[in-house]
Amino acid sequence: MTMQGSMQVRKDWDTYFMDIAYMASTRSRCPRRFVGAVLVKGKKLLGTAYNGAPMGVPDCGEEGCMIAETVELETVDGEERQVLKQRCVRTIHAEQNLMLFTNAADRVGATVYVTDQPCWTCANILANSGISEIVFHRPYRKDHERVSTMLANTPIIFRQLAEYAPPLQAMLGYTE
């Protein structure tokens, strides 16, 4: 008996764990951004998290998003201009929840897979969390430069899965 014909290309570990991060993101109740993150060490899953309101507190699905507006500088066609941005501040970010729900000892030398490139605050927290690698999929332009620069000063490996395609189920209902 041969296995020929039934052989499938096996998922690599990056795809496997990023898929799990995307599935965790489907638990998010903030319609503006579904973010999922997982902690992995030695190919073992040590924790999963998504962005959400603190336990017992109404979330965006119940009370609507809590919108904060900020003016940011953006460079468009080489010209710097001020842009008004809206962001939901109701939720604890997935990366921060992941840090709250995992053990410090487990984090040492571990990898965080996160659906979106960490924001400035999360990147700082991750940099001090003991982990040794951050793998993300969707870019987050706002903080890209300062996050990359900051992480380049640490031993943490910071990489994007540019070729990755999320599982279709995880993208249903995603509005951005």
Give the residue numbers marked as catalytic. 95
| Residues 137, 26, 147: CA angle, nearest 5 degrees | 30
Using the rule CB under 5 A, is 24 a contact of Zn ion?
A: no
Position among 88, 125, 150, 161 found at the interface with Zn ion (CB under 5 A): 88
Number of residues that bind Zn ion (CB under 5 A): 9
Using the rule CB under 5 A, is 92 a contact of Zn ion?
A: no
Using the rule CB under 5 A, is 119 a contact of Zn ion?
A: yes
**Distances in Å between the alpha carbon of 166 and those of 55, 56, 101, 102?**
28, 30, 24, 25
Write down the least CB distance from residue 12 to Zn ion, Å.
26
Write down the least CB distance from residue 29 to Zn ion, Å.
8
Longest dimension (CA), the chain: 67
Nearer to Zn ion, 90 or 137 (CB): 90
The CA distance from 169 to 161, in Å, is: 19
Single-letter residue type at 169: Q
Position among 18, 65, 98, 156 found at the interface with Zn ion (CB under 5 A): 65
Part of the chain binding Zn ion (CB under 5 A), chosen from 11-19, 80-88, 142-150, 158-166:
80-88
Nearer to Zn ion, 30 or 131 (CB): 30
Nearer to Zn ion, 97 or 111 (CB): 97
Residues at the interface with Zn ion (CB under 5 A): 30, 32, 60, 65, 88, 90, 93, 119, 122
